[in-house]
A = this chain, B = another copy of it.
Amino acid sequence: MSLGWMLFAKGDRHVTAELLYDEATRAKVPVSLATVYNTLHQFTEVGLLRQVAVDGSKSYFDTNASEHHHFFVEGEDALVDIPGAQVLVDKLPAAPEGYEIARVDVVVRLRRKQG
């Protein structure tokens, strides 16, 4: 419950399990990391969160579960929403026989411009 409030009270956010864990700890809510994971998964199953896989290691949970895409800043590991309307995917290929499209994820990978 407390975790729920932390997640959704502040508007759209992208959290990693560890980030939420630290936040909870700082807020003197005593939970273990495992509990944070379990809670995040439960919210995800119910459709309140969306799990975003963007780089190999950690995974992000997005409190904005609606259709939209992401910027991902390499090296900084920051994830930023792109409003759904700003990306338009044309010409989606047909799904192979027997399968249907569950979701389309677009990740725009950013790199800090040098100079």
Contact = CB atoms under 8 A, between A and B. Distances in A.
A53 interface: yes
Given A105-B106, A107-B105, A112 B99 contact: yes
A98 interface: yes
B96 A104 contact: no
Nearest to A94: B86
Contact of A108 (B73, B90, B93, B112): B93
Copies in the complex: 2
A87 to B, nearest CB: 6
Interface residues of A, number: 39
A9 interface: no
Nearest to A59: B56
Given A53-B55, A59-B56, A90-B90, A108 B100 contact: no
Given A71-B96, A88-B90, A104-B108, 9 more contacts: A53-B53, A53-B54, A56-B59, A82-B93, A95-B110, A98-B113, A100-B111, A102-B109, A104-B107
